[in-house]
Amino acid sequence: MKKRIPELDFIKGLAIILVCIGHAVSQIPGTGPDAYEENTVFRFIYSFHMPLFTFISGYICRLTLKTDTLWLKKRLRQIAIPYLLALILWYIILRRSSIADFLSPMAYWYLPFILIADTVLFLEQKYRLHGLLFAGVIGISVAVCRFERSQIDIAHHLSHCLIFYAAGAAAPELKKRYGNKLLPIYCILTAGFIALTPLYGQGMTRQMSRLDNIFGSFPRSRPLTALIFITNKFIVPACGIGAVLLITYAVYHVQQTKLIRTTAETIGKHTLFIYILHDLFLWKIADNLTLSYFVSLPTAIIVPMLLSVAFNWLKAIRNAPK
């Protein structure tokens, strides 16, 4: 078994905590997008948290990747089975209203995304395609989003997050080559994140409205719209990832942060169970938002962690030599 890297577990822990908080903000109040999408915490988290998750997924996959087809089969099985179980939970326990909701990639879209991304990375390495397959999949996804009126959700996420996954897959080689020389880049990205995040908004209409509120009437033009789109979709998330990498470096070089490190690392080891199950525990309690957050968030993290530990324990018993 490959030795775990604490820094990667730490980042995964931070990422899944952000996922849970973001979903709590949007789900617990029971209000529409007009309320929670203007929430400062929601906007901060959604500006970068899933690109961060896909970045670290690409990083980890690159470290464990083998060009043996058995590796790919095992990897796909590890993701496909939890995804099917997650969809059953989504449809039956959460009582979604129709079969369309059951099949919607919005339900745990990250898992089918990883199925595709890991396959692309495997084929890239096996056949030495030098990024051509990544570019092809992104191009097809962009075309689907452009011409398909219903905006197929998984295509949207591929066109956006596959770039960050590919960057994560390239990151181990960059870290090996440059090491701490990357720190100034992390600092620049962090400064960019601090400067740009207050301007971030979900979707172009909401983004233009935010700019109007901040700067007054904002001129509409195609170049400006393109610049805002690129900033929202790629520059802000990249800056957020840089900020997390800088925080990770700082946390692992300050002795007083041991409790924070240990907590995040522990959570990071169980991200799959937390991702699949956390929605089940996000409930509004007695119309009290503070109480709802205080009870739901720890429960949404701790209970799936305990189930993950139990599952791994039973798996170890089953696989133990007799």
Residue 309's alpha-carbon distances to 182, 270, 303, in angstroms, are 36, 8, 10
Taking Cα atoms as reference points, which of 23, 34, 17 lies closest to residue 282? 23
Residue 195's alpha-carbon distances to 51, 96, 155, 240, in angstroms, are 19, 39, 30, 11
d(CA 171, CA 190): 17
Domain ranges (residues) in the chain: 1-46+257-322
Q: How many residues does the chain have?
A: 322
Per-residue pLDDT tens, the chain, 322 aa: give them: 467 899 999 999 999 999 999 999 888 876 666 667 778 888 899 999 999 999 999 999 999 999 899 999 999 998 988 888 877 777 666 655 555 555 554 567 898 899 999 999 999 999 999 999 999 999 999 888 877 655 457 888 899 899 999 999 999 999 999 988 999 999 999 999 999 988 787 666 666 666 666 666 666 677 777 888 888 889 999 999 999 999 999 999 988 899 999 999 999 999 999 999 998 888 888 788 889 999 999 999 999 999 999 998 998 888 877 6
Stated pTM of the model: 0.90
d(CA 180, CA 178): 6
**CA dihedral sign, ordered 204, 209, 212, 217:** positive
Instruction: With beta carbons less than 8 A apart as the criterion, state whether 39 and 290 touch.
Output: no
